[in-house]
Chain A
């Protein structure tokens, strides 16, 4: 049975996601999230593979009143597995770590499998690292429910969403990474008063 598509999974949680500070990894996820509707609180980390969770941790510790969501991939997380132990050590309650696991390095153009295709269980690794709330989701409904519960619990969470190795037609987004970077900084540094405030 085919797994869910990443774009459908993102669409399922987009209403809540649009209200959060979101840091993505590189490749298909940022292109698909951008296609659903850019927000000033969305930051797409092109390159720097593996560091999205570390950037998210830096933001979450610096701005504990903001809900931060990191969107990672299996290949990206496998490059920075130690990050799970650092996340768990500081356990920021305002950080939810979503890992879209398609079991391949999709953006290189040929489907080279990652170790999750041969049995590596990233949710189990997160739990073993000490992340207090973890789940593996196979459908949009499961992800929507797990994400809603993690938001309500206000607890560090790693949610692994198993998705098809299918991406968007291209990875170009009409927002230069530096423009995105300064827009995101301005959004993060806005006065803490209202929620979902505009720049």
Chain B
């Protein structure tokens, strides 16, 4: 499968190094290896969601209870979660760490991904959510650590966009 197993491992290791103990996820193609790694890790609480917005609530609960968490989803899941992000994570000052697979960018071959790909960064801007892209494996650990630091210092959501160059082996 052209989803990068090597880079998925780099991302998973970086999540562990940040102390993430609970991972909420709605699986999609680019995230299959990450979900498998979490399933096989007895130290990780993996919560498989029915819809991504649930993960905003679950991460809020985990944070209030003192457990570091992340929400892993496709950019269309981000679009489906906006009210939860605004009315829970932002309103209640929750340091929500989101890892978002950025489908529909340059190189995308599936027509149905292209609309979401075109609006993702504009939506993050409109929501005033700080984000960075992850395009190479070298960027993963430092940017994830910095994103978590900013989320916890600001008590606000932050996003990391998992890009095609990192996730997909063309």
Residues of A near any B CB (own CB < 8 A): 23, 43, 45-63, 66, 80, 82-83, 85-86, 89-90, 177-178, 181, 184-185, 188-189
Contact = CB atoms under 8 A, between A and B. Distances in A.
A57 B66 contact: no
A86 B56 CA distance: 13
A43 B83 CA distance: 19
Interface string B49-70: 1110111111111111111010
Interface in B14-42: 22
B57 A54 contact: yes
Given A83-B50, A86-B50, A177-B92, 7 more contacts: A51-B53, A54-B56, A61-B45, A61-B61, A85-B50, A178-B93, A188-B66
B96 to A, nearest CB: 11
Given A54-B56, A62-B22, A188 B64 contact: yes
A47 B88 contact: yes
Interface in B50-103: 50-51, 53-67, 69, 83-84, 87-88, 91-93
Interface of B: 22, 45, 47-51, 53-67, 69, 83-84, 87-88, 91-93
Given A48-B91, A63-B65, A184-B64, A57 B57 contact: yes
Contact of A82 (B50, B56, B69, B92): B50
Contacts of B64: 43, 55, 58-59, 181, 184-185, 188-189
Contacts of B88: 45, 47-48, 51, 55
A59 B61 contact: yes
Nearest to B91: A47
A86 B49 CA distance: 6
A62 B63 CA distance: 9
Given A59-B65, A82-B50, A86-B50, A51 B84 contact: yes
Nearest to B51: A82
Contact of A86 (B48, B59, B87, B92): B48
A90 B25 CA distance: 14
Given A45-B88, A48-B84, A188 B65 contact: yes
A55 B60 contact: yes
B78 to A, nearest CB: 16
Contact of A62 (B54, B56, B62, B93): B62
A63 to B, nearest CB: 5
Nearest to A188: B65
Contacts of B48: 86, 89
Contact of B57 (A46, A48, A63): A48
B97 to A, nearest CB: 13
A43 B91 CA distance: 14
Contact of B61 (A57, A80, A85, A86): A57
Contacts of B47: 57, 61, 86, 90
16 contacts: A45-B88, A48-B84, A51-B56, A54-B56, A54-B58, A55-B61, A55-B88, A58-B60, A61-B45, A61-B47, A62-B22, A62-B45, A86-B50, A177-B91, A181-B93, A188-B65
